[in-house]
């Protein structure tokens, strides 16, 4: 890609310049701070509950609050919510989230400060998904959708209401899928055809978003729509979010990795973290992410790149040489580290998922056990089985030279003539070390693995410079990315590390991750975070993935409790993707790449999916989790927990 293809610079922070969109008393765009928002999970028509949650979200730091508006009833309730908030001295803008029905969107445009529509299902009831009979997608139905949309624009202009064109990966119109498939290109074009209508109508109070539970799709589609807007001289603000991200560690890592690289590139004018938790938790995490982005803005200047070898719209893994179990076609490594000053024995390694049984004289590992652990000095009495191993400073390796111990050298030591194992050794380097002599030697060394320690506040951009340098020299050495933090707050650690490294792995670069922390965070949490980042970026699958919506007024069951129960019973099923969705509006679409789906289909009723196919409908909620387990077993995807190594 070329510099400026979708941002102003590939290596130095510049906020993308946009027009101003007025959302009540809280305008957004590049001349204003990035706005935070959340979505209420109350029943919109429970007025007191909705008002109370709005106030809590505003006090937590949300600039905007969005409500589900599935029917005329909710649209009228928004008016009451607005009145109650004004009486309480609260004037934070409200957003109506509308699907399917243009008439409801029109009603909401007379009540709130902003309306969100989904171009994939916008129109009157019965015109869902923009269905038409023509191959071109320009048939009568699409024209009718355009006609309804123009009426909405007129109402928004009259009422000074902003609009979001919110594209969802899982609910693209059939005409878009026929042309582009279920792809980032299809998402971008879905937005562009509506944005062109806005421009033709001289309506500029519009924001665009590309949402997906797959962060690769979300990042690629957002980059693409920004590039398309630039080529057509559009400068609309962008809303960022990873939809159905889930909860806990997974939700935080997916959200930070997906949004982090875009924000660091200057893309994004409002963000929403989507967690299957109390909405206030979304705002708290969003603030931590934005604090980190504010820090990134202050980074030391990096060399500009006129061109970058990475395709920003599709993940292509960098071709690399293979050293032992590293690089080549091997999965990326995860490396941990024991605090210096400790002579490590078998007991210290339990924090990294390595368990030694003296009774059985054997080691056990699981899918989230670190591949290597760095220590200053080891005193292990029991040999580690391949491919696990200990990394030690080269001086320690010279003293022992045990088969499971690998040396780590700094760049200066590496340039000296030293005896090294001929199958695998690690070389630590920073930006000052990547000179011609060093690159020439490591390029010719088939046993070397480069451990690159980031030092710039803008780690994603620094790593672009590093990989460009290696690419230009045709150096295919495997690269382990090492980042160090000083955090006592686990959530802040997860947010920063995912935001700093996610973009690199999304782009298919990197052969491993070494996270370290000088604060008070347990080693097991550090290792788990590293695995979580690799899984979110689709580089290494090590556990069950859950695609879970945060719930809203359309949800009629306790989604947080249900998700916890499903995770409790299925978390050992490595690589399986399970969707847990509140309703059918976005649920079936947003969990489109899930293996199984659990979707609310009415009060007390659940529908189960296998992939995109409905398997069982109308299951009573109290029996639905058991039915889901039964479905997984029937299809041969079940493994008993005791059988998982």
In 3-state terms, what secondary structure has residue 2?
strand
- Do 118 and 254 fall into the same domain? yes
> Is residue 628 included in any domain, yes or no?
yes
What span, in angstroms and rounded, lies between the C-alpha atoms of 18 and 28? 9
Closest to 93 measured CA to CA, from 108, 72, 74 = 108
> Is residue 189 included in any domain, yes or no?
yes
What span, in angstroms and rounded, lies between the C-alpha atoms of 352 and 109? 54
In 3-state terms, what secondary structure has residue 219?
helix
CA angle centred on 254, ends 250 and 257, rounded to 5° = 140
- Do 574 and 502 fall into the same domain? no
- Do 354 and 412 fall into the same domain? yes
CATH number at residue 261: 3.20.20.20
Last residue of a domain, one of 536, 568, 588: 536
- Do 264 and 358 fall into the same domain? no
Task: Name beta bridge partners: 599.
Answer: 581, 607
> Is residue 236 included in any domain, yes or no?
yes
- Do 457 and 578 fall into the same domain? no
Residue with tokens 């499971």: 404
- Do 370 and 418 fall into the same domain? yes
Last residue of a domain, one of 479, 503, 536: 536
Query: Which distant-in-sequence residues (6+ apart) come within 8 Å of 626 by Cβ?
Result: none
> Is residue 228 included in any domain, yes or no?
yes
- Do 501 and 598 fall into the same domain? no
pLDDT of residue 133: 35
> Is residue 557 included in any domain, yes or no?
yes
What span, in angstroms and rounded, lies between the C-alpha atoms of 604 and 593? 25
Beta carbons of 271 and 262 less than 8 angstroms apart: no
Element (H or E) spanning 156, and its range? helix 140-159
What span, in angstroms and rounded, lies between the C-alpha atoms of 74 and 96? 9
Element (H or E) spanning 196, and its range? helix 184-200
Task: Name beta bridge partners: 67.
Answer: 96
Residue 475: count of CB within 10 angstroms of its CB: 20
pLDDT of residue 132: 39
What span, in angstroms and rounded, lies between the C-alpha atoms of 385 and 404? 8
Query: Which distant-in-sequence residues (6+ apart) come within 8 Å of 613 by Cβ?
Result: none
What span, in angstroms and rounded, lies between the C-alpha atoms of 240 and 237? 10
- Do 531 and 553 fall into the same domain? no
Query: Which distant-in-sequence residues (6+ apart) come within 8 Å of 23 by Cβ?
Result: 35, 64, 93, 95, 113, 114, 162
Beta carbons of 537 and 317 less than 8 angstroms apart: no
What's phi and psi for 370, nearest 5 deg? -55, 150
Residue 332: count of CB within 10 angstroms of its CB: 24
DSSP secondary structure string for all residues of 263-322: HHTT--SEE----SS-HHHHHHHHHHHHHHHHHHTTPPP----SB-SS-TTS--PPP--E
pLDDT of residue 140: 43
Cα→Cα distances 404→155, 401, 500, 645, Å: 70, 8, 31, 21
Greatest alpha-carbon span in the chain: 79
pLDDT of residue 127: 34
Please provide the distance, in angstroms rounded to a whole number, between the alpha carbons at the two ends of the chain: 43
Phi-psi group of 424: left, alpha or beta (phi > 0 → left; psi -120 to 50 → alpha; rest → beta): beta
- Do 288 and 416 fall into the same domain? no
- Do 268 and 413 fall into the same domain? no
pLDDT of residue 6: 65
What span, in angstroms and rounded, lies between the C-alpha atoms of 109 and 492? 37
CATH number at residue 563: 3.30.413.10
Is 0.85 surpassed by the pTM of this model?
yes
Pairing of strands 64-68, 94-98: parallel
> Is residue 399 included in any domain, yes or no?
yes
Element (H or E) spanning 610, and its range? strand 605-610
> Is residue 9 included in any domain, yes or no?
no
- Do 221 and 343 fall into the same domain? no
Closest to 9 measured CA to CA, from 269, 265, 295, 311 = 265
Per-block mean pLDDT, blocks of 10 residues, the chain (645 long): 69 96 96 96 92 96 93 90 93 89 88 92 50 39 80 95 93 88 93 96 97 94 96 97 84 96 97 93 97 96 92 93 91 91 84 88 88 88 83 90 85 90 94 95 96 97 96 97 97 98 96 96 96 95 78 69 85 83 65 81 85 86 88 88 62
Tokens of 579: 């969707």
CA angle centred on 495, ends 490 and 496, rounded to 5° = 100
What span, in angstroms and rounded, lies between the C-alpha atoms of 429 and 192? 44
What span, in angstroms and rounded, lies between the C-alpha atoms of 223 and 240? 11
By residue range, what is the domain housing residue 587? 545-643
Phi-psi group of 564: left, alpha or beta (phi > 0 → left; psi -120 to 50 → alpha; rest → beta): alpha
Element (H or E) spanning 421, and its range? none
> Is residue 6 included in any domain, yes or no?
no
pLDDT tens-digit series, residues 458-468: 999 999 999 99
pLDDT of residue 577: 85
Domain count, the chain: 3
pLDDT tens-digit series, residues 160-204: 999 999 999 888 888 898 899 889 999 999 999 999 999 999 999
pLDDT of residue 122: 80
In 3-state terms, what secondary structure has residue 635?
coil
Burial of 571 (0-12, 13-18, 19+ CB in 10 A): middle
Last residue of a domain, one of 506, 536, 566: 536
Q: Which long-range contacts (CB under 8 A, 24 or more apart) does 187-193 make?
A: 187/212, 187/217, 187/221, 187/224, 187/225, 188/221, 188/224, 188/225, 188/228, 189/228, 190/119, 190/120, 191/119, 191/165, 191/167, 191/225, 192/225, 192/228, 192/229, 192/232, 193/119
- Do 417 and 386 fall into the same domain? yes
């Amino acid at each position: 890609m070329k510099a400026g293809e979708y941002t102003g610079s590939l290596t130095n922070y510049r906020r993308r310049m946009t027009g101003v969109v007025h959302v009540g008393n809280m305008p957004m765009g590049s001349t204003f701070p990035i706005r935070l928002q959340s979505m209420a999970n109350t029943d919109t028509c429970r007025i007191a509950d909705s008002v109370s949650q709005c106030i809590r979200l505003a006090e937590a730091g949300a600039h905007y609050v969005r409500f589900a508006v599935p029917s005329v009833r909710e649209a009228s309730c928004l008016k009451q919510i607005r009145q109650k908030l004004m009486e309480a001295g609260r004037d934070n803008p409200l957003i109506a989230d509308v699907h399917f029905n243009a008439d409801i969107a029109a009603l909401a445009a007379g009540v709130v400060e902003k309306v969100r529509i989904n171009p994939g299902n916008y129109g009157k009831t019965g015109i869902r998904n923009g269905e038409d009979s023509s191959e071109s997608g320009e048939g009568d139905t699409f024209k009718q959708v355009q006609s309804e949309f123009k009426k909405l624009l007129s109402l928004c202009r009259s009422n000074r209401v902003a609009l979001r064109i919110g594209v969802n990966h899982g609910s693209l119109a059939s005409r878009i899928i026929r042309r582009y498939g279920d792809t980032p290109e299809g998402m971008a074009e879905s937005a562009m055809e509506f944005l062109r209508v806005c421009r033709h109508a001289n309506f500029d109070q519009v924001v665009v978003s590309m949402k997906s539970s797959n962060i690769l799709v979300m990042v690629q589609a957002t980059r693409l729509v920004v590039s398309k807007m630039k080529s057509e001289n559009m400068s609309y603000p962008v809303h960022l979010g990873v939809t159905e991200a889930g909860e806990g560690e997974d939700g935080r890592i997916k959200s930070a990795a997906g949004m982090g690289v875009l924000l660091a590139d200057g893309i994004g004018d409002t963000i929403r973290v989507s967690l299957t938790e109390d909405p206030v938790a979304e705002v708290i995490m969003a603030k931590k992410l934005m604090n980190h982005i504010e820090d990134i803005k202050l980074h030391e200047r990096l060399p500009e790149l006129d061109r970058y070898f990475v395709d920003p719209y599709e993940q292509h893994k960098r071709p690399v040489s293979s050293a032992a179990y590293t690089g080549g076609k091997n999965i990326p490594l995860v490396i941990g580290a024991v605090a210096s000053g400790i002579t490590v024995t078998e007991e210290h390694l339990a924090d990294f998922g390595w368990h030694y049984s003296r009774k059985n004289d054997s080691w056990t590992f699981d899918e989230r056990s670190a591949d290597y652990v760095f220590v200053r000095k080891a005193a292990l009495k029991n040999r580690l089985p391949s491919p696990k191993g200990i990394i030690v400073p080269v001086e320690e390796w010279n003293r022992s030279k045990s088969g499971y111990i690998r040396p780590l050298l700094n760049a200066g030591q590496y340039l000296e003539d030293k005896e090294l194992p001929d199958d695998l050794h690690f070389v630590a380097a920073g930006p000052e070390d990547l000179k011609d002599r060093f690159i020439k030697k490591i390029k010719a060394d088939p046993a070397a693995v480069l451990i690159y320690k980031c030092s710039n506040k803008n780690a994603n951009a620094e790593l672009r410079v590093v990989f460009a340098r290696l690419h230009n020299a045709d150096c295919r050495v495997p690269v382990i990315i090492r980042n160090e933090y000083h955090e006592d707050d686990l959530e802040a650690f997860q947010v920063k590390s995912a935001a700093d490294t996610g973009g690199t792995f999304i782009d298919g670069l990197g052969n491993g991750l070494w996270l370290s922390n000088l604060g008070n965070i347990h080693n097991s949490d550090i290792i788990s975070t590293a695995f979580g980042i690799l899984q979110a970026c689709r580089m290494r699958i090590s556990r069950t993935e859950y695609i879970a919506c945060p719930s809203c007024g359309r949800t009629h069951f306790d989604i947080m409790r249900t998700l916890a129960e499903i995770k409790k019973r299925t978390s050992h099923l490595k690589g399986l993707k399970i969707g847990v969705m509140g309703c059918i509006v976005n649920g079936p679409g947003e969990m489109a790449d899930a293996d199984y789906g659990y979707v609310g289909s009415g009060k007390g009723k659940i529908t189960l999916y296998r992939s995109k196919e409905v398997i069982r409908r109308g299951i009573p909620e109290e029996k639905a989790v058991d039915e889901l387990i039964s479905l997984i077993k029937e299809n041969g995807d079940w493994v008993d927990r005791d059988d998982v190594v």
